Amino acid sequence: EKDQLILGIETSCDETAAAVIKNGTEILSNAVASQIESHKRFGGVVPEIASRHHVEQMTIVLEEALTQAGITYEDIDAIAVTEGPGLVGALLIGVNAAKAIAFAHNIPLVGVHHIAGHIYANRLVTELKFPSLSLVVSGGHTELVLMEAHGEFTVIGETRDDAAGEAYDKVARTLNLPYPGGPHIDRLAHEGTPGLNLPRAWLEGTYDFSFSGLKSAVINTLHNAEQRGEKIEPAVLAASFQESVIDVLVTKTLRAAKAYHVRQVMLAGGVAANKGLRAALSGAFEEFTDVELVIPPLYLCTDNAAMIGAAGSMLFQKGKRSSLALNGNPGLDI
């Protein structure tokens, strides 16, 4: 039987990415143009700048993905593109590029939810086993997603305010660390011990999260110390903040895994790069020998198009086709 080749495209935030995926599981190419340098001096992603960069980079990245994979558009079975959620102007660049290629070469088009992509990054590492639970933690999302079968996503818990990555970035900003702050806090946290008692929002009886109270507590702690003329070690603050975030993420993931009798727990999204989170999850699931914990390599955790290709492959297999009326949808539900 002929191999299935999917071209994945991702432009929902500040990464312009294209990738070619074979049979839903094998990466033939994975091109990513990051814009981090352009947004750094603003301390966060500037939507208008993101859109402009996507316009400039899209064709270059597409060319790179095809060349690396050694194929042309004629070899492709379907184009998978992130249709949402994300920045609307950014999404539109990828969606329009995908539609143009689909129309010009008469290739089927499949719209993909960005979070489905993050979850399916795991399929590039292992086979999915159902029921499967994903902890999706990124700059825009903090969700626990249950799957009973391929393509069937149920959000059982989500953040009520800030996303985990957002909290990391905001705390980093108050410590004058560069954007994105997550990796810097992560590094600092390992240089200090968590001496400050920061709050944890348990929201008992739910699998929901809340990080805005923690973020405010960090800012207040710094501010109060400053007013007293005291100095708080950034490493101690980072370690305390990280401990609080990880404690809630891991505890709720563990509870949900038990309650839903899942066979697999997968970590997804940019915050999955966090060393402390990886270690804590591994520790928590060590004794659950019948639950497989999957933690993808870093390059598959941050935004990329390989994950969109992987999710698109599954959706295409299930019969999903998007029309040329496909539009970017910043508030798309999974």
Residue 165 contact among ligand KG4, Zn ion, none, beta carbon within 5 to 8 Å by kind: ligand KG4
Nearest to 198 by CA among 206, 207, 189, 190: 189
Nearest to 169 by CA among 281, 282, 36, 278: 36
Residue 223 labelled as part of a binding site: no
Cβ-based nearer residue to Zn ion, 138 or 253: 138
Give phi and psi for 263, each to the nearest 5.
-100, -15
Segment interacting with Zn ion (CB under 5 A) among 44-52, 133-141, 183-191, 223-231: 133-141
The answer to whether residue 186 forms part of the interface with ligand KG4 (CB under 6 A) is yes
Burial of 13 (0-12, 13-18, 19+ CB in 10 A): buried
Residue 218 labelled as part of a binding site: no
Residue 181 contact among Zn ion, ligand KG4, none, beta carbon within 5 to 8 Å by kind: ligand KG4
The answer to whether residue 270 forms part of the interface with ligand KG4 (CB under 6 A) is yes
DSSP 158-170: EBSS--HHHHHHH
Q: Which two tokens stand for residue 113?
A: 């939810």
Sign of the Cα torsion 320, 154, 123, 271 reads positive
Out of 165, 296, 309, 312, point to the residue binding ligand KG4 (CB under 6 A).
165
Instruction: Give residues 135-174 in contact with Zn ion (rule: CB under 5 A).
Output: 138
Cβ-based nearer residue to ligand KG4, 97 or 268: 268
The answer to whether residue 273 forms part of the interface with ligand KG4 (CB under 6 A) is yes
Nearest to 52 by CA among 83, 27, 85, 16: 16
Out of 11, 210, 302, 322, point to the residue binding ligand KG4 (CB under 6 A).
302
**Site pattern 124..163 for ligand KG4 (x: CB under 6 A):** --------------xxx-----------------------
**DSSP character at residue 110:** E
Q: Show Cβ contacts of residue 285 under 8 Å, excluding neighbours closer than 6 positions.
A: 254, 257, 265, 291, 293
Reduced DSSP (H G I as helix, E B as strand, rest coil) percent helix, strand, coil of the chain, to 5: 45, 20, 35
Dihedral Cα 263, 269, 274, 277, nearest 10 deg: -30
Instruction: Give residues 203-222 in contact with ligand KG4 (rule: CB under 6 A).
Output: none
Cβ-based nearer residue to ligand KG4, 34 or 68: 34
Q: How far is CA 77 from CA 22, 38, 72, 249, in A?
A: 10, 35, 11, 38
Number of residues that bind Zn ion (CB under 5 A): 2
**Site pattern 290..319 for Zn ion (x: CB under 5 A):** -------------x----------------
Return binding residues for substrate.
Answer: 136-140, 169, 182, 186, 274
Return binding residues.
Answer: 114, 118, 136-140, 169, 182, 186, 274, 303
Site residues for ligand KG4 per CB under 6 A = 13, 138-140, 165, 168-169, 180-183, 186, 269-271, 273-274, 302-303
